[in-house]
Every structure is written in C-alpha cells, then in structure tokens.
Amino acid sequence: MIRPDGDNLKIAIQSAGRLADASVELLRGAGIDFDSYSRKLFASARGFPLEVLFVRDDDIPEFVEDGVADLGIVGRNLVVERGAALEEELELGFGRCRLVVAAPRGGRIGTVDDLAGHRVATSYPRTLARYLNGRGLDAEIVEIAGAAELTPALDVADAVCDLVSTGTTLRVNDLVEIETVLESEAVLVASREARADGPRSRTIDRLLLRMRGQLAARRTKYVMANCPEDATEAIREILPGLRSPTVVPLADPGWVAVHAALPEEAFWESIEALRAAGASEILVTPVEKVFR
C-alpha cells in the first residue's frame, strides 16, 4: 500500500467489523474529527495531524510493523499471532475475547494433555504452536481460515483453538472450553520506527494523553452526596476522590455536600457505604474526561 503523503501521523483501523465503530468512537472522543469511513481508504483529520487508514484488521500488525502506518488499533490476538515487532501502547477496553482450546462435549479430549497426538483446528497456528510447545505437547495443527467450530463435526479436527466472547458459538456446536491460551482486547500499537522519531513520537504522546483521558473517564463517575456535617470524616473515607473530596456547606445549617470522582469498580459498594454513613441525597453523573 502506498503511504499517503504528508507529515501527518497515520493510524490504521478496521474498516468494518467488530472493532470498527469503537475505534472511530475512540478517535472522535479524543477530539479527532474526520469524514465518514464507509467507502474511503483513508481520511485526514481536522484539528490534529493524523490520517486514518481503513483496512482489514488482519493487515494492521503488518502495516504498522512495516511503517505503512505509525499506529494501529487491533486485537492483541492478531499482534501476538504475527509475532509483530511493535509497541503495545494502550489497552482500549473493547473487543475483549479469549483464545481458547475447546473440544467436543463428552469426547476423548477433556484436558489439554489429551491433545497429544490429536488434530487441533485454528486460524492462530503460531500462537497455538507456541502454547503447545510451552506445554511440551505434540499435536497436529490444522490451519483453517475460519469457522473452526465446525471442524470436529466434519472430522477435520479433534479439537479447536478459537476466539470466544460470549461462548454461544462453542455451545451451539457442542464444544466445551478446556483452557485459555490468550486474553485479548483491542490495543493501540505503535511502530518502533515512529517511536524512534522525535516529532512523530511526540504526536503519539499527545494522542495517548487524549485517549487515556477518555478511557479513564469511562471508568469514573462523579458523585455528589448531602450529609450531616458530623458524617464528613466517615464519608471522606468512602469518597477519597482523585486528590480529596470537595466539601461545601449547604444553606441548611449542619449539612454539607461532598463531591468526588469515584472509580466505577467501587461504585455500588461506595453507594451502600454512603447510605450507611448517613448520606441522604446522592447524585451520580458521568465524567467526560479525566487527566491526571
């Protein structure tokens, strides 16, 4: 592929598929505005020195490794499979899945050790080979382009190594998971060449700051709770905030409002603890960006 002209940074994202919408949304949320991607190979951003290349996800690790693009948004599964010499800069929190070994329910293969001497169908032959080697297992890898889940029924393989997200595909094909080979999600990758180039690397850092601000915001809520003044200390423990909570007096004597950012994973427990500590009215709002 010909590298589009200009000094702009190039980022390769999936043109259509599971990662496409979330990739565009992440860039837009980072303040990068570009035209609709439906029919174009690439688009120039406004307000940031970036060009967006729309490609098949399988090509992304290679393009970034070869310098066709400086950055890419792609599943870790593909980066690992290629053994690509890239920098993984950021986990993006979407496209989560696992590469697992699975076998027919109630069949001969119940554990990973049972794979020895059997056939395993996969689109991830290198990752599977590394995994089997690591376990000292000798199994035949049957490389297929897709639909691994059908191969045991067709007697093309005895087990499969495939991506799973909800588990429905395995279930409907009467396959059971045996072990996880790799945990994956979409990641931002950068080419080593771009990272070694001062100006381009600085632009990558600017983009990372914006993306991190957005990803952190998704995991954060802003909580405002009214409570009696004498409960302030207890509530401060529950709502430490980013530095410390904001405590402001209410017009009602003896009452204060406590405001703080709260990580999503602690959310429900914190709301329960706030109630128990005497907080009455509690308001929760989403956070747009968090920069620390």
Closest to ligand PRT by CB, 144 vs 257, is 144
99 binds, among Zn ion, ligand PRT, none (CB under 5 to 8 A by kind): none
| The residue to which tokens 């602690």 are assigned | 266
Contact with ligand PRT (CB under 6 A) among 61, 72, 75, 245: 75
Closest to ligand PRT by CB, 56 vs 108, is 56
| Cα–Cα distance, 185 to 179 (Å, whole number) | 18
In sequence order, the β-bridge partners of residue 186 are 75
Residues 6+ positions from 247 with CB-CB distance below 8 Å? 232, 236, 256, 257, 258, 259
| Cα–Cα distance, 41 to 212 (Å, whole number) | 27
With b for 16 or more beta-carbon neighbours within 10 A and e for fewer, the 104-134 pattern comes to: beeeebeebebbeebbbbbbbbebbebbbee
Closest to ligand PRT by CB, 57 vs 158, is 57
Which residues ranging from 146 to 175 are in contact with ligand PRT (CB under 6 A)?
Answer: 162-169
Contact with ligand PRT (CB under 6 A) among 122, 173, 184, 270: 184
Q: In the chain, which residue ranges form alpha helices assigned H by DSSP?
A: 20-29, 60-66, 76-82, 125-134, 168-172, 192-195, 198-218, 232-238, 267-276
With CB under 6 A as the rule, give the number of residues binding ligand PRT. Answer: 21
Closest to ligand PRT by CB, 52 vs 164, is 164
CB 190 within 8 A of CB 87: yes
Q: How far is the CB of 149 from ligand PRT (least distance, A)?
A: 6
Which residues ranging from 51 to 90 are in contact with Zn ion (CB under 5 A)?
Answer: 57-58
Residues 6+ positions from 25 with CB-CB distance below 8 Å? none
Q: How far is the CB of 36 from Zn ion (least distance, A)?
A: 21
Query: What is the spatial order of strands in the sheet that 159-164 belongs to?
Result: 140-143, 119-122, 159-164, 97-104, 175-184
Contact with ligand PRT (CB under 6 A) among 6, 17, 67, 117: 17
Closest to Zn ion by CB, 184 vs 203, is 184
Site string for ligand PRT, 42-71 (x = CB under 6 A): --------------xxx-------------
Q: How far is the CB of 182 from ligand PRT (least distance, A)?
A: 10
Q: How far is the CB of 79 from ligand PRT (least distance, A)?
A: 9
**Residue 99 CB neighbours (<10 A):** 24
Q: Which residues bind ligand PRT (CB under 6 A)?
A: 14, 17-19, 56-58, 75, 77-78, 95, 97, 162-169, 184
Q: Which residues bind Zn ion (CB under 5 A)?
A: 57-58
